[in-house]
Chain A
């Protein structure tokens, strides 16, 4: 059976892959070797760490659910409609991707110190130094990833099929639900996973906006920082390994979905 042809070019590119993998694996192996079973057990049985783990899972999944609710219509509108200022809107949607997350945390803190922000806090929901604040922060920082992925997924759906669905008895909304959305599903799910991975690892803006109070607003990245600050580097690394495993699982899923792109054959 003929395999891929080995050429000097392919050797060079694969060598680069190997070097990069070596770098990543070295870091992971170093983390694993630095910690031990006792630290890992201690980390996984600690009330504070378990609370942080639960809060990380709860907040990140909630923010991703909200991201998906926003990403689908926003991504669809960006993909399908050309309106005045389309390029500006696209740039604004992408802004959180390029902005340092700390800046977003700071901006949120400043906003909630304005009269409107204070009014929201007193009459609606408290955000500053609260769990809701964690969700808001994760949403704003990570939503762009979900929106961008959804827009790309809708771009890949042939618009003519949606139009054809109109002649087959669909309203515009039905054409969206029955044709565009199912066909864009994998891309949207992949985007949601990337957004989740980003949200679950968020630290800087949370420290500014939601605080680092143990058993209240402490999420896993905060735990790593707090454990480090009191010199328990093994426990910090054990928590980091838990996060690493979760992130690796998420990314494997993303790549599997991105590789398949569709769940139907063809």
Chain B
């Protein structure tokens, strides 16, 4: 388990500010954030490669804030993989064990199962320079896992790979985590990557953790416009909210009225994901629907992306055939109340 409290670190003009985060034992936690948000700095603080100006870091209940990296019980795979070019694959994997002066038989005993787990047996005699990106990642992962760390830190482990290798490695990471149940912190800028592996996630922006929770929560209930945009929620709409007598509230925008759960009042911003919108023929009797004109249709392979104008721009995804829709025509677009999320009033954009 990792517990980070009020971590502060200033490097030049950039700073990690009062960063607090908790990852439960055995969790696969993905820390998301755009480039330059401080993800790598944070992970280097956890590793002990950077010393924070303030705050504490606990791993498995032990304060490691001032411990040397080698004493923290971590396995770290950096973004650049960091395989030692002067050592063969086998020697790279055995490196942390030889450093700890383990007997040769024990090294063999530990390396063998890892090699089998990752399926890198045929690579053992090869040199890092002769490996593909995916193979390098697997070797770096095996090396990080060899000393049986309590915590695995992965810094953008698949970002340098092509799409198919990325998907394959994500599945491998998921399988390995299932098997070893090792607490893992995976840093990434890719929402797809997070969705394909993690069970919990956090979002980092300009050195601050702006939201943590399950991936579904982050996706459906963003705490701010920044999180919504980061998760590529396209429908972010300003509206006026009025509480309804029987419970719930009414949102008014561009001459439309929508019902939404919860008590909301005054100027608000609501979000709804494009896949939650339902498209019906014009005039259809649907609840919480608004009239909208289709302005653009684009093919996205498994689905169609539909852009509407209803006083405000709205985007919907549909799996119906493209022929079903005609650009320029009006449709009834339903926004289910349970899919609408009103951003907290004090959320930062």
Contact = CB atoms under 8 A, between A and B. Distances in A.
A, B co-complexed: yes
Nearest to B78: A164
B74, B78, B99 pick with most chain A CB within 10 angstroms: B99
Interface residues of B, number: 28
A85 interface: no
B322 interface: no
B202 interface: no
B70 A171 contact: yes
Contacts of A166: 48-49, 68-70
Contacts, number: 68
A168 B95 contact: yes
Interface string A162-195: 0111111111001000110011000000000000
A165 B70 CA distance: 9
Given A167-B47, A170-B70, A183 B86 contact: yes
Contacts of B69: 166-167
A161 B147 CA distance: 18
Contact of A266 (B74, B85, B143, B147): B85
B84 interface: yes
A262 interface: yes
Contacts of A231: none
Contact of B85 (A163, A169, A178, A264): A264
A115 interface: no
A8 interface: no
B86 A168 contact: no
B74 A167 contact: yes
B96 A169 contact: yes
A160 interface: yes
A182 B130 CA distance: 19
A167 B49 contact: yes
Nearest to A166: B69
Given A166-B69, A178-B99, A161 B84 contact: yes
A163 B48 CA distance: 10
B48, B84, B143, B147 pick with most chain A CB within 10 angstroms: B84
A161 B127 contact: no
Contacts of A263: 86
A169 B84 contact: no
A168 B85 contact: no
A169 B49 contact: no
B84 A266 contact: no
Interface string B309-326: 000000000000000000
Given A167-B70, A169-B100, A264 B86 contact: yes
B28 interface: no
Contacts of B143: 168
B129 A160 contact: no
Nearest to A265: B127
Contacts of B99: 165, 168-170, 174, 178
27 contacts: A158-B80, A160-B82, A161-B84, A163-B49, A164-B78, A164-B82, A166-B48, A166-B49, A166-B69, A166-B70, A167-B76, A168-B70, A169-B70, A169-B99, A169-B147, A170-B70, A170-B99, A171-B70, A174-B99, A178-B95, A183-B85, A264-B129, A265-B127, A266-B127, A266-B128, A266-B129, A266-B130
Interface of A: 158, 160-161, 163-171, 174, 178-179, 182-183, 262-266
Given A167-B75, A167-B76, 11 more contacts: A166-B49, A166-B70, A167-B70, A168-B70, A169-B70, A171-B70, A262-B85, A262-B86, A264-B87, A265-B127, A265-B130
Interface of B: 47-49, 68-70, 72, 74-76, 78, 80, 82, 84-87, 95-96, 99-100, 127-130, 143-144, 147
Complex A-B, nearest 8 residue pairs according to Cβ-Cβ distance, in ascending order? A266-B129, A169-B99, A168-B96, A164-B82, A166-B69, A167-B76, A167-B69, A169-B96
